[in-house]
């Protein structure tokens, strides 16, 4: 047998154990070893086969490093067909997670027993794929067509108990899994059980016909934001329940391979690996001893501070929120309570969970309570002087070794740290709103931030369910720094003749969750106006963000005032074009001497995207971003960038760096060099054919 698959006997039972750490992925060695074990079980006198996995989990998926490479025999579908065809009962023992190919392997068995804490799922859709090893044929036979479609297109795993209720699992145990599985196998043999191939089950198709599948595809086309994999899953599922198994398998495999080679899947796999890469610490931080973080303080109970507090409390940590006075403290607590109560009303948490969360939150006006905290996160007004004053107070109050973090989205972290006697303890934790929901956390390392502080906060981010990206200090760090040229070009285009609806429509058609004008209205145009007004380095250019500033000066702050780039009904979010704004823009363009013209959607996308990419290259040159993939991770998880395009830097490489550079140079000739001088890194990579680092 191979090193990854062992074959032993326990009396009349064959026990096949997969041991391919860390997650028992179905690599070529695993597939070959499993096929060898199946053939051995066919030939010997064992009466049943028990399939299990060593380590912390059952098979948690395929080895996706093999995707896009020449296939290595044996293929997983062939191995699982052989497992299903074994002429003696196959009992699969599931613990940890059975995901993707792991669940497909379990479904190819005849009987399934799961540890009570196990999770089962078919998350291939998250990588732009469909279950390619028989899942689209076997799942609907075990659990029904509708539940299996939800499992595949949603991508989220279900619990062992939910799997048992649905038919995916026959038995759930709280006892030690392998002894329970062996006992279950002997119980089955004593009862005269025979092989029970899933393929032999007749699918239940009551109310399921061609029209039903077509309707599901239409619904997914509207909700999947440019993704094709969910619709292909519907196609494969339909084949799986209407065609003979061999034909369905062949056609589904063709669809799977088509998706593997698609830009969509490549982009989603890129982001999957980007998340892994972003978790890697710089060399000087890897062996640092982590500091203890159990007691957390949050300064400020506004929208952001409350969200940060909720994130910690939802993760089991105790948090103290400090506000300026009793009225503000009461508002902060009510903000937190009402958010969780709304989640309870929607069935997302129960009364017991709500009570536990509220027990973990304390709101006070006593700044001195910060003396007991392991970590303090400042989430107050975006003003450098105010933040420096607050950090000076923290320096005086907090115990030695406490981590002092700022949630600033663009202020100079080094200047904030300089207000303390311990800049090594200061770090940036830039959350994205709503902070208890958004996955991204920009972890900002200052010039003097200690390695153990970086390592502690990166670990803490994952502990509280965030995706951390480590960045350096500059105005706006990585995400907001790149957003400035994106927004600049949007507003330049308005002066040049595009309307807010045209700009937003082009970017939303590209795949952005919202266009830049709509985002400005949502965030509040006064926020950007104040930030720009406080900058001493703003360019001497009257066109620079002139439209947004003009609207803010008139009190048109966006949704909260019912008017910004667009008009909004009282308290509503549905936007309507405002002819008055479009006329104001035309008048301002005339005053500034900007000639207006017809602008295509293609130019809108290129101007915004390539300005952003060029700035991203500069961030890489300066070491503000560690990797191009970190930038992609930041934009896909914090800024509504379409995941199916892989992030702005991957998008540029998909287009071709040479083509991107050529368009930037063309814009330089058309619009002038002030904003369109290409990054040296982009020039070098385009010339050499290298990928962005």
Burial of 200 (0-12, 13-18, 19+ CB in 10 A): exposed
Burial of 289 (0-12, 13-18, 19+ CB in 10 A): exposed
Neighbour tally for 70: CB within 10 Å = 5
The Cα 161–Cα 79 span in angstroms is: 28
The Cα 337–Cα 262 span in angstroms is: 45
104 is catalytic: yes
CA distances from 292 to 289, 452, 456 (A): 10, 11, 8
Burial of 478 (0-12, 13-18, 19+ CB in 10 A): buried
Neighbour tally for 327: CB within 10 Å = 10
Peptide bond into 242 cis (omega under 30): no
Neighbour tally for 23: CB within 10 Å = 18
Burial of 406 (0-12, 13-18, 19+ CB in 10 A): buried
Cβ pair 662, 683 in contact under 8 A: no
The Cα 629–Cα 692 span in angstroms is: 9
Is beta strand 295-299 parallel, antiparallel or unpaired with respect to 375-378? parallel
The Cα 97–Cα 91 span in angstroms is: 17
Structure-block tokens of residue 77: 């579908």
124 is catalytic: yes
List the catalytic residue out of 12, 36, 84, 124.
124
Neighbour tally for 653: CB within 10 Å = 19
List the catalytic residue out of 12, 36, 66, 104.
104
Place of tokens 């101007």: 607
Structure-block tokens of residue 53: 């996995």
The Cα 276–Cα 632 span in angstroms is: 13
Cβ pair 648, 482 in contact under 8 A: yes
Structure-block tokens of residue 674: 């002030």
Active site residues: 104, 124
């Amino acid at each position: 047998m191979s090193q990854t698959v062992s074959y032993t006997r326990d009396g009349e039972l064959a026990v096949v154990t997969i041991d391919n750490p860390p997650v028992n992925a179905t690599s070529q060695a695993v597939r070959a070893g499993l096929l060898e074990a199946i053939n051995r079980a066919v030939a010997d006198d064992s009466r049943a086969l028990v399939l299990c996995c060593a380590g912390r989990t059952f098979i948690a998926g395929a080895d996706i490093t093999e995707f896009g490479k020449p296939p290595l025999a044996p293929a997983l579908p062939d191995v699982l067909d052989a497992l299903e065809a074994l002429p003696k009962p196959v009992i699969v023992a599931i613990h940890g997670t059975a995901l993707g190919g792991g669940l497909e392997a379990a479904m190819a068995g005849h009987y399934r027993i799961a540890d009570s804490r196990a999770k089962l799922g078919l998350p291939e859709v998250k990588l732009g794929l469909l279950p390619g090893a028989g899942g689209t044929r076997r799942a609907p036979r075990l659990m029904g067509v509708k539940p299996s479609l939800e499992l595949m297109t949603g991508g989220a795993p279900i619990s062992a108990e939910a799997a048992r209720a649905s038919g995916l699992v026959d038995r759930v145990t709280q006892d030690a899994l392998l002894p329970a599985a062996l006992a279950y196998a002997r119980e089955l043999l004593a009862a005269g059980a025979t092989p029970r191939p899933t393929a032999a089950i007749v699918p239940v198709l009551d109310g399921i016909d061609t029209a039903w599948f077509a309707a599901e595809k239409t619904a997914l086309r509207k909700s999947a934001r440019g993704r094709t994999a969910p619709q292909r899953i519907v196609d494969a599922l339909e084949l799986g329940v209407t065609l003979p198994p061999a034909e369905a398998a062949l056609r589904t495999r063709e669809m799977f391979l088509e998706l593997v080679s698609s830009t969509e899947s490549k982009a989603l796999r890129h982001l999957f690996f980007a998340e892994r890469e972003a978790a890697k610490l710089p060399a000087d931080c890897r062996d640092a001893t982590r500091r203890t973080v159990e007691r957390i303080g949050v300064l400020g109970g506004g929208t952001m501070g409350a969200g940060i507090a909720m994130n910690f409390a939802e993760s089991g940590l105790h948090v103290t929120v400090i506000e300026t006075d009793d009225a503000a403290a009461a508002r902060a607590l009510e903000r937190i309570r009402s958010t969780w109560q709304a989640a309870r009303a929607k069935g997302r948490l129960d009364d017991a969970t709500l009570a536990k969360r509220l027990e973990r939150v304390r709101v006070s006006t006593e700044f001195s309570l910060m003396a007991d905290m392991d970590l303090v996160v400042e989430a107050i007004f975006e003003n450098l002087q105010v933040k420096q004053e607050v950090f000076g107070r923290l320096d005086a109050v907090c115990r030695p070794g406490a981590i002092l973090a700022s949630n600033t989205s663009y202020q100079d972290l080094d200047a904030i740290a300089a207000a303390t006697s311990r800049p090594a303890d200061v770090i940036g934790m830039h959350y994205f709103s709503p902070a208890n929901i958004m996955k991204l956390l920009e972890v900002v390392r200052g010039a003097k931030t200690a390695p153990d502080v970086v390592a502690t906060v990166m670990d803490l981010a994952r502990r509280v369910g965030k995706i951390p990206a480590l960045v350096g200090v500059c105005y706006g760090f990585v995400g907001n720094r790149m957003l400035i040229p994106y927004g600049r070009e949007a507003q330049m285009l308005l002066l040049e003749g595009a309307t807010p609806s045209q700009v937003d429509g082009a970017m939303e058609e590209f795949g952005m969750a919202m266009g830049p004008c709509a985002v400005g209205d949502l965030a509040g145009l006064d926020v950007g106006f104040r930030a720009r007004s406080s900058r001493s380095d703003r360019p001497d250019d009257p066109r620079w963000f002139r439209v947004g500033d003009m609207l803010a000066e008139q009190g048109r702050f966006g949704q909260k005032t019912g008017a910004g780039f667009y008009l909004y009904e009282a308290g509503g979010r549905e936007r309507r074009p405002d002819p008055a704004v479009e006329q104001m823009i035309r008048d301002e363009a005339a005053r500034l001497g900007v000639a207006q013209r017809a602008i295509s959607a293609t130019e809108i996308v290129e101007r915004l995207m390539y300005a952003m990419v060029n700035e991203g290259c500069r961030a890489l040159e300066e070491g503000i971003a560690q990797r191009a993939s970190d930038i992609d991770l930041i934009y896909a998880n914090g800024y509504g960038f379409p995941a199916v395009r892989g992030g702005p830097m991957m998008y540029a490489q998909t287009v071709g760096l040479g083509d991107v550079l050529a368009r930037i140079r063309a814009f330089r000739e058309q619009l002038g060099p002030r904003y369109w001088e290409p990054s040296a890194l982009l020039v070098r990579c385009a010339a050499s054919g290298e990928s962005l680092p």
